Amino acid sequence: MSGQKYKRTNFEEDDNVSNGGTPPGVTYDPSIAFKAGASFWQKRTILEKLLLSLSAVLAVVVIILGIVVGTQKPQRLVVPPAEKKQKTNLCTTLPCVTVASAVLNSMDPTADPCDDFYQYACGGWTKAHPIPSGQSRWGTFSVMDQQNQVVIKNELASLGAKPLLSLLKTLGGWQVTPGTGSWDIANFDIQSLIEMVHSYGMGPLFYMGVGEDEKDTEHNILQFDESGLGLARDQYLNKTIEEDKTLSGYLKYMTDIGVLLGGSYNETKEQMYKVIEFEQKLANITTPMEDRRDDEKLYHKITVRELQNLAPFLDWLHYINSQLNVTTPCVVVDEDEKILTYAPEYLEKLTDLLTDLQKTEEDKIILNNYLIWNVVRPLVAYLSKPFQNARKEFLEILTGVSGEEELWRYCTSDTNSVLGFAVGAMFVRKTFHGESKNKAEEMISDIKQAFKKNLANITWMDEETKRAAADKADAVVDMIGFPPYILNTTALNEKYDKLFINESEYFQNNIRVLKFSIKKNLDKLRKPPERQSWSMTPATVNAYYTPTRNEIVFPAGILQAPFFDQKYPKSLNYGGMGVVMGHELTHGFDDQGREYDKYGVLRPWWNQASIEKFKERSQCVVDQYSNYKINGDHIKGKQTLGENIADNGGLKAAFHSWILHQDPQQCHYAREQFLLNDLFATFHAYSQWISENGQEPSLPGVNLTDKQLFFLAFAQVWCSNSKPESVLMGLLTDPHSPSRYRVIGPLSNSKDFATEFHCKSDSYMNPAKKCEVW
C-alpha cells in the first residue's frame, strides 16, 4: 500500500455473455405449409411457430410485469400527465423485456426517491445479492467480472514452503527461519540487500521505475517515490499493536508465516513485533494521500548526484545501474542523469531514520527482517494451503472476507493478470464485435460535444481558458475495446517474448513474471513513450484516463450490459456507459488532470483567476463529501476529490449529450434549463439522440419517463453490498467514494434530477446548496 504517485484514474475502485441471437437448429420445411387438412398451427413453418411462440411469451411476460408492478406498493413518484402521454409505445423485444425485469428487480419502489435515491434504485438488488463466500464486496462490477471469467474459462499442487525457502537463501537467508541458511549479521549490507530485493519487483522503503516525464512527454525518465508499508498509512498511526485489532492481526499473520517457514513461535513473534514498530515509523514520515494531489508540487527533476546529496543512505548510482543491468541493450547512467522524485522530503526523513537504525546489531536485524518480510509478504499467495489459510485469516480481519473463491475463478483471474492480453484475444473474439466499438465511439463523440457546449455557459472561467479546455477535449484520444495487435499472433508472441512459463512450476512462474515485468519497464528508459499502449486488459470491467497521454480507455469487458447494449433503450446506455465515458473525460479537468495540457504536458495553461475559482468550487465538493458518513466514519473529501469531480461531471456530460438528441422543443428546453439550472451533460447527449431519432419505446412495466430512467440506470450501476471492514479499508486508501455516495453525491447536486423526480426543496436529494465544478 505505497504512496506511489497515480499515473491514471480508474472508473471503479482498485476490485458477459452476448445477448440473444437466432437459436441453433432452426430449419425451414416448406412441405408443412401445404399438407392437406392442416390446421392454422400446422400450416406454420418451424420458424413461424418459433416467432409466434416468442411473441406469445413476450406478451405474457409484459402482462405479468404489468400485474407485478400493479400489485407493488404505490411509488411515491408522481409523473406529470403530459409526460405519461409520451409513453404510448412499448418495447417488447427480448432485450427490453429482460432489462425491464432487471431494472424492476433492482429497485425498492417503497422508498422515496427524494429521500434516498440509492435505496430507491438499489434496494431490491442489495437484498437479493448477499456477498458471496471469498468476497469483501459485491456489486454490478463483480457480477460482470464473473461473467467475463466464465467466457475466459470456456475458451481457455504446490511444493509447500520449499520454493520460497530457496529464494530466501539467494538473498542471504533470514534470521527468522533457520532453514534459509545461516544469516550472518557481520555480513549485513543494506545496499546489496535492497538491490537484490528490488530486483524481484518488491519496493520496500522506496519505489523506482520508468515512466513519462510529465513536463517532457516525448521522453521516458527514471522516477522515484515513497513506498514500503504493508497496511494503509492510517492503520499504523496513534495505535498500539496489543490493543488494535488490525495491528495485532497483522502480527499474528507475520508470526504464522514465519513459523510455517521454519521459525520458532516466540522468537518469530518478537522479531515481527519490531518490524511493525519500524513500519509505524515509516508511516509517520509518509505523506497522506490527500496531500499528494497537486502534481506540480510533487514534480522535482534533479540529477543522480543531487539525489545522492538528498538521501545518502544509499549509493544511488550503484543501485540504479544494478537494476538497469537487465535492460536490452544495456543502459548505464552517470551522476548527471536526470531523474524525477515525487517525495524529496520523505527521502530526507528516510535517511535520518535509517541512519539511526544501523547503529546496533539489533537495529540491523530489524532492517534485515523488514526487507525480507517485504519479499515474503507478496509471495505467500503463491504457496501451499497452510500459507493460504494464514493469509485468509488475516484478510478476514482486514477486509471481512470469509470463505474462499472457487479455485477455477482464482486460476482464471491469476492467469488473466499475467497473460491478460493473450487471454483477451480469446475474450474479444467471443464477445466483442465491431458494431459495439462503432456505437461506443459515437457516444464518446456526443459526450465531448456536450462537454464543450457546457464550457460556453460556465461563468467562472475566462474565455481564453475555455478555448484551451475545448481544444483539450477535442484532443482526447479514445481507445475502445482492445489493442488491435492482440489479434495478430506474431505481434502477440512478441509481447510475451522472453517470458518462460512451465506448467509444473507455479511459484517459479510468478517469480519469472515479476522479473519479466521489471525488465519491460526498465527497457523503456532510452525509448520514447509508447502512445496508445494499454494498461488494462480487454476483459477488465473498468475504464481509465491517462493525463500524460490525454487518453481515455474503455476495455471490451465494460462495454456490456448493464452499462451498454446496442439493443437497450438509449436512456439506459447513456445513463450507464455514457456516464462512464463522461467520468473519464472529466478526469482531464479534475484537480489533477487540469494541470496537464492537451498534449499531456504538465504545465500552467489556465488563467490564474480561473484557477482560484476552480479551487473555490472544488472546496465545495470537498466539504460536501467530507460530511458524508458510512458506518460512522467520514469520507475523506480531499482524498476523493478527483473522482467526485469526475462522477459529477461525467453524469452532467452524459445527461447533456442525451438532451441534445431530443426533439427541437426538448433541445430548447435543455439549453434554457442548462443556463438556468446547470444540466448534466450526459443527459444532454441522450437528448441529442432523441431529437434526431424520435422518442424511444418505453420499457414494459417500468412506470418512469425516459429522463427518470436515465437517472435510474446511472444509480443501478453502483448497486452493491460491502463488508464493514472493506468499507473502512476503502475510506483509508481508495480515491473513490463508497458506492452509495457515488449516487447520492452527484444526484443531490443536480437540479435536473430534482425536477424530473419532483423533489421538494431542501429534501435530502434536493438540498438548497449544490456543488458544481463542470
| Active site residues per annotation | 584, 647
612: Cα separation from own chain's centroid = 30
Q: How far apart are CA 764 and CA 741, in angstroms?
A: 13
What does DSSP assign to residue 766? B
Q: How does 124-139 read in b/e, with b if 16+ C-beta sit within 10 Å?
A: bbbeebebeeebbbbb
CA distances to 679, 680, 752 from 675, in Å: 8, 11, 12
Cα-Cα end-to-end distance for the chain: 32
Other Cβ atoms within 10 Å of 207 Cβ, number = 19
Q: How far apart are CA 634 and CA 621, in angstroms?
A: 14
CA distances to 289, 469, 529, 652, 675 from 595, in Å: 18, 11, 20, 21, 27
Strands 206-213 and 9-10: unpaired
Residue 280 region by backbone torsions, left for phi larger than 0, else alpha for psi between -120 and 50, else beta: alpha
Give just the sign of the alpha carbon dihedral 490, 491, 497, 503: negative
Beta-carbon contacts of 398 under 8 Å, excluding residues fewer than 6 positions away, are 231, 246, 249, 725, 729
Q: 355-360 — which CB contacts under 8 Å span 24+ positions? A: 355/313, 357/278, 358/190
Q: How far apart are CA 633 and CA 369, in angstroms?
A: 34
Contact 291, 210 (CB under 8 A): no
Residue 114: what are its φ and ψ, rounded to 5°?
-90, -15
What does DSSP assign to residue 551? E
Q: How far apart are CA 319 and CA 757, in angstroms?
A: 61
Q: How far apart are CA 373 and CA 378, in angstroms?
A: 9
- Exposed/middle/buried for 762, CB within 10 Å: 0-12, 13-18, 19+? exposed
Beta-carbon contacts of 373 under 8 Å, excluding residues fewer than 6 positions away, are 230, 254, 272, 275
Contact 435, 566 (CB under 8 A): yes
Residue 629 pairs in a beta bridge with: 634
Q: How far apart are CA 700 and CA 93, in angstroms?
A: 10
Contact 534, 557 (CB under 8 A): no
CA angle 646, 647, 649 (to 5 degrees): 60
Reduce the secondary structure of 187-242 to three states and give it as a string. HCCHHHHHHHHHCCCCCCCEEEEEEEECCEEEEEEEEEEECCCCCCHHHCCCCCCC
Q: How far apart are CA 679 and CA 350, in angstroms?
A: 49
Reduce the secondary structure of 340-382 to three states and give it as a string. EECCHHHHHHHHHHHHHCCCCHHHHHHHHHHHHHHHHHHHHHH
Q: How far apart are CA 366 and CA 272, in angstroms?
A: 8
Q: How does 600-617 read in b/e, with b if 16+ C-beta sit within 10 Å?
A: bbbeebbbeebeebbeee
Contact 718, 140 (CB under 8 A): yes
C-alpha cell, 52: 409466434
Q: How far apart are CA 471 and CA 490, in angstroms?
A: 38
Q: How far apart are CA 563 and CA 553, in angstroms?
A: 15
Beta-carbon contacts of 551 under 8 Å, excluding residues fewer than 6 positions away, are 476, 477, 478, 479, 531, 532, 545
